[in-house]
Structure 1
Amino acid sequence: MSNVPPQASTAPRVAVIVPAYGVAHLVHEALASLQRQTMADWECVVIDDGAPDDVAGAVAPFLADSRIRFVHTNNHGVSAARNHAVRQTRAPLIALLDGDDLFRPTYLQTMVTTLEGDESIRLATCDARIFGAVPRERTCVNGRKQGAGDGTHGSLADVLDRSFNVYIGTTFRRADFERIGGFDETMAQSEDFDLWVRLMMLGGRAYYANAVLGDYRVRPGSASSNGGRMLLGNIKVYEKARRTLPEGAPEASLIDRLLAENRAALAFEHAIDRIVDGDTRRGLAELRAASSQVGGMVWRTSFAIWHVLPALARPMLQWRRKAHRRGGAGESTLPGIFGMGG
Structure 2
Amino acid sequence: MNEKPLFSVIIPAFNAQKTIKRTILSVLNQTYRNYEVIVVNDGSSDLTPRILEEFLSWPQVTILHQTNAGVSAARNNALQLSCGEYVLFLDADDWVETNFLMVFKQNLAAWPAQTIDLMVGNLNDDRVGKVSHAGFFELEDIPFVLGELEMSDNIGYLHNKCYRRKMVEEMGLRFIEGISMSEDLLFNLKCFSCVSNFLVMPGSAYHYEDIEGSLSKRKSNYNELKVRKTSLTVLYDGIVEKYKESDLDYFLKGISKRVLALDMQIVTAMYHSSFSPGDIAQEINEIKRGRYSKGIFILLNKNEKMKYMIMNLNTITAYYFLYALYRMRAF
TM-score > 0.5, shorter chain as reference: yes
* Mapped partners of 1:121, 1:319: distance in 2: 50
* Mapped partners of 1:153, 1:235: distance in 2: 32
Q: Could you tell me which residue of structure 2 aligns to residue 30 of structure 1?
A: 23
Give runs of aligned pairs for residues 1-342 of structure 1, distance below 5 A. Answer: 6=1, 8=2, 10-118=3-111, 119-130=114-125, 138=126, 140-141=128-129, 144-146=130-132, 150-152=133-135, 155=142, 158-159=145-146, 162-163=150-151, 165-166=154-155, 167=157, 168-186=159-177, 188=179, 189-225=181-217, 226=219, 232-233=227-228, 235-240=230-235, 242=237, 249-250=244-245, 265-275=261-271, 277=274, 283-284=280-281, 286-293=283-290, 296=297, 299-300=308-309, 312-317=321-326, 321-322=330-331
Q: For residues 134-164 of structure 1, give each alpha carbon's deviation from its aligned partner in whole angstroms, at most 9, with x where no partner exists.
A: xxxx3632xx445xxx355562564477136
Q: Could you tell me how far 1:280 is from its partner in structure 2? A: 5.5
- TM-score, normalisation: structure 2: 0.73
CA shift in 2, pair 1:72/1:318, >3 Å: same
* Mapped partners of 2:161, 2:213: distance in 1: 23
Q: For residues 267-289 of structure 1, give each alpha carbon's deviation from its aligned partner in whole angstroms, at most 9, with x where no partner exists.
A: 43333344565856763564254
CA contact (8 A) 2:312 2:318 kept: no
CA shift in 2, pair 1:207/1:230, >3 Å: farther
Q: Could you tell me how far 1:223 is from its partner in structure 2? A: 4.4
* Mapped partners of 1:302, 1:245: distance in 2: 29
CA contact (8 A) 1:111 1:125 kept: no
* Mapped partners of 1:241, 1:76: distance in 2: 27
- TM-score, normalisation: structure 1: 0.71
Gapped runs of 5+ residues in structure 1?
1-5, 131-137, 323-342
Identity of aligned residues (%): 17
Q: Could you tell me which residue of structure 1 aligns to residue 300 of structure 2?
A: none
CA shift in 2, pair 1:96/1:308, >3 Å: closer
CA contact (8 A) 1:38 1:105 kept: yes
Aligned residue pairs total 303
CA shift in 2, pair 1:248/1:288, >3 Å: closer
Q: Could you tell me how far 1:28 is from its partner in structure 2? A: 0.4
Q: Could you tell me how far 1:69 is from its partner in structure 2? A: 1.9
Q: Could you tell me how far 1:112 is from its partner in structure 2? A: 2.4
Higher mean alpha-carbon deviation, 179-188 vs 58-67, is at: 179-188
CA contact (8 A) 1:21 1:50 kept: yes
CA shift in 2, pair 1:309/1:110, >3 Å: closer
Q: CA RMSD in A?
A: 3.9
* Mapped partners of 1:36, 1:63: distance in 2: 16
* Mapped partners of 1:183, 1:109: distance in 2: 26
* Mapped partners of 2:197, 2:31: distance in 1: 26
* Mapped partners of 1:194, 1:41: distance in 2: 29
* Mapped partners of 1:246, 1:306: distance in 2: 35
